[in-house]
Amino acid sequence: MAQTDPSDSSPGRALIVGATGIIGQTAGRQLADLGWQTFGLSRSGALAVPGVTSIAADLLDPDALSAALAGTKPDIVFITAWMRNETEAENIRVNSAMVRNVLAALEQEHSVRHVALLTGLKHYLGPFDNYATGVMADTPFHEDEPRLDSPNFYYAQEDELFASAEKNGFTWSVHRAHTVFGYAVGNAMNMVLTLSVYATLCKELGLVFTFPGSETQWNGVTDVTDADLLGEQLIWASTHAEGQNEAFNIANGDVFRWRWLWPRLARIFGVEWAGFEGSPRPLTDQMAGMEDTWKGIAAKYDLVEPDLTKLASWWHSDGDLGRNIECLTDMGKSRTAGFLNFRVTPDSFVDKLERYRAARILP
């Protein structure tokens, strides 16, 4: 494989697949800040990250991908894109094809040294069709747990990665994230933004900031993943021999209970709160029909996004907070390999909240 030109002042060339997502935007900012010549691939091409060259192509169109990626010659590739479908069979078909098509298109570039694939805890918990209901790994989750018997699009994506790496001679890494706390514009699948929008609506309407999830999640120990920390691990694995050809969990490094964190979030927003009381109270139910209310809040505070659906993903946070199983990950393998970065979860939430406020996405 071709190596980075040593006369080039930048560390190299990077491609982010899924560049408009919460991790794609984060990793793009980090790579650009480090001097990488960075390309961001997405279906829309609607990327506004300084220092990242936006590329538009449909990941399910091999010919369009080959044309769009011609001349990019990336040294490292981050695959952070995925697409949710109605069944796991469709998830497997579509998401494995996206990985396969990207890696096939890059064969013409003769440049790739390392590919990092982002997955998540469904590797241990099972797919959407059988999520956290069948036989699953014990907590804390360890990377050496065997795959579950259930079909899983994460496994299919990994298999595409492994096959291409063997064929084309690049190294790989897989990164299994938990619930992500991050800052991204135009991406609603982010618990920090979703809960912040929820708290803002509660404050404006005099509602109680009510925990929406299960008793297990309210009382149990859990962890989350800071998006900046995840970006740092992606870059580390792509540039260090210890990160090659390995799968790594990625979480902040601390653990907490929502019954401890929820009152702290309520104090940040200045709202009354309520915990788990008998049964889950999903955000999809609590926040139904709030679109016009948010438009009024956006006008009142001169916010940049009046469309509630572009900010809050009620179903996504309901899924994470409604699980009836303890969810936390072991970070020992990553630390032993040399990745020692960490985040303190309450500080992580506040950091992202302040960024959203500075961008006038939240009041």
| Long-range contacts of 291-296, Cβ-Cβ distance < 8 Å, separation of 24 or more | 293/201, 293/204, 293/205, 294/197, 294/201
Report CA dihedral (131, 133, 137, 143) to the nearest 10 degrees. 0
Q: In terms of residues, how long is the chain?
A: 363
| Residues recognised as catalytic | 122, 154
Supply 152's token pair: 């899983």
Instruction: Using only the alpha carbons of the chain, give its radius of gyration.
Output: 20
| CA 111/CA 94 separation, integer angstroms | 26
| CA 25/CA 270 separation, integer angstroms | 30
Supply 232's token pair: 């740092």
Residues 6+ away with beta carbon under 8 Å from 313? 188, 189, 190, 194
Q: What DSSP element (H or E) covers 319? A: helix 314-321
| CA 296/CA 81 separation, integer angstroms | 33
Q: What DSSP element (H or E) covers 336? A: helix 332-337
Torsion sign over Cα 126, 23, 306, 196: positive
Predicted confidence pLDDT, tens digits, the chain (363 residues): 334 443 356 799 999 999 999 999 999 999 999 999 999 999 987 777 899 999 999 999 999 999 999 999 999 999 999 998 989 999 999 999 999 999 999 999 999 999 999 999 999 998 876 665 666 678 999 999 999 988 999 999 999 999 999 999 999 999 999 999 999 887 767 899 999 999 999 999 999 999 999 999 999 999 999 999 999 999 999 999 999 999 999 999 999 999 999 999 999 999 999 999 999 999 999 999 999 999 999 999 999 999 999 999 999 899 899 988 889 999 999 999 999 999 999 999 999 999 999 999 999
**Hey, how many other C-beta atoms are within 10 angstroms of the C-beta on 116?**
25
The answer to whether the CB of 14 falls within 8 A of the CB of 37 is yes
Q: What are phi and psi of 225, to 5 degrees?
A: -125, 120
Q: Which pTM does this prediction carry?
A: 0.93
